[in-house]
Amino acid sequence: MSLSAAQVAARVLEALEKGERIYTAVVTDAPDPSLIGRRWWLSGRRSRGTLGSRSLDEAVAAAAPSFFPPRESRGALSRDFEYREGGRMRTARVYLELHGPPARMVIVGAGHIAIPLARMGAMLGMRIEVLDDRPEFAAPERFPDARSVRVIDFHDPFLDTPLGPSDHVILVTRGHSFDYECLVRLLRMSAPPAYIGMIGSRRRVRATHEQLAREGFTTEEMKQVRAPVGLDLGGQTPAEIAVSVVAEIILFHAGGTGVPLVEKERVVARFFGSTNARTDAAEPGTGATGPEAGPAGPAASAQPATEK
């Protein structure tokens, strides 16, 4: 059955409301012109529509999940797929999209750090959930940006919070015994969250890991826990600590270096490092100093560093 763009869009909205990931596909080029514009979607084990060939449908369904990492909630690309038609191998170009619910941040512990952390996570577009065993702390009015605030029992902290590989779990509890209860369950999951962070001093982190080691967890398993969580920014206040945690999450996904941009770009050293830099820049033909010497040197200095 051929689907219209409106039908596919309606199914995407339905999937997002249910918190499901869905892949959509449309043929943009093919030897058989009748295939162009054919649409299809896949969500879990369910699919609907056709790209015009059962062989092509199967090829795209098998490959689609591998194109997008589990932690991603959005993505798009075009790929050529081979399929069999009339005893011959053919190639069609297919445009694929991934639509998924926003990344989720589950904050375990509703103390002072959790408040700015929830706010900043929401600013990144993440769906925030806060868990604590103290009703006076796990109060919705304390976390206006959270989708859910729940009272839990640390003997089974994630009983009502199913987790998956695209989730981010941040442990900011009031003691390493609570961290331990959470980590044991997280590390035993068949598909644990991609990002598990735990706040704490070196002593607290060590004590928690010693308990995990006694429980039989390997070094490789314990390395899945980012502890102490956050970048070394030197901050001390709850808001400053929350900034360091969120900064590490951005670094984790974006793949940056964490180096200050002033050190990375070195604009002054590269373009004004010589005592004669102003003279060189004002007199074309005298040469530019630094690693970008040459005809393009002076002109390049006027470009924003982010455009390089």
Half-sphere exposure of 110 (CA within 13 A, CB side): 23
Taking a C-beta distance cutoff of 8 angstroms, is the pair 81, 26 a contact?
Answer: no
Give me the pLDDT at residue 242, please: 97
In which band, very low, low, confident or very high, does the pLDDT at 286 lie, cut at 50, 70 and 90? very low
194 pLDDT more than 70? yes
Instruction: Report the residue count for the chain.
Output: 308
275 pLDDT more than 70? no
Which residues 6+ apart lie within 8 Å of 129 measured at CB? 104, 105, 106, 107, 146, 147, 148, 149, 150, 161
In eight-state DSSP terms, residue 220 is H
Which of 260, 57, 71, 251 shows the shortest CA–CA distance to 169? 71
Measured distance between the N- and C-terminal CA atoms of the chain, rounded to whole angstroms: 48
In which band, very low, low, confident or very high, does the pLDDT at 278 lie, cut at 50, 70 and 90? low
Alpha-carbon gap, residue 145 to 121, rounded angstroms: 9
Alpha-carbon gap, residue 242 to 264, rounded angstroms: 24
Segments in the chain forming alpha helices (H): 5-17, 54-67, 114-123, 176-187, 202-214, 219-222, 238-254, 261-265, 267-272, 277-282, 297-300
The percentage of residues in the chain with a pLDDT greater than 70, rounded to a whole number, is 88
Give me the pLDDT at residue 191, please: 85
Q: What is the mean pLDDT of residues 25-46?
A: 94
Question: Which of 17-21, 180-184, 281-285 is predicted least confidently?
Answer: 281-285
Tokens of 55: 């062989």
Alpha-carbon gap, residue 265 to 148, rounded angstroms: 42
In which band, very low, low, confident or very high, does the pLDDT at 103 lie, cut at 50, 70 and 90? confident
Mean pLDDT of the chain: 87
In which band, very low, low, confident or very high, does the pLDDT at 239 lie, cut at 50, 70 and 90? very high
Of 51 and 307, more confident:
51
Give me the pLDDT at residue 306, please: 39
Alpha-carbon gap, residue 29 to 50, rounded angstroms: 15
Q: What are phi and psi of 176, to 5 degrees?
A: -70, -20
In tens, the pLDDT along 162-173 reads: 898 889 999 999
The percentage of residues in the chain with a pLDDT greater than 90, rounded to a whole number, is 72
Number of helices (H), then strands (E), belonging to the chain: the values are 11, 11
Alpha-carbon gap, residue 94 to 138, rounded angstroms: 47
Q: What is the mean pLDDT of residues 185-197?
A: 92
Give me the pLDDT at residue 93, please: 97
Domains and CATH numbers, the chain: 5-99 (no CATH), 104-254 (3.40.50.720), 261-299 (no CATH)
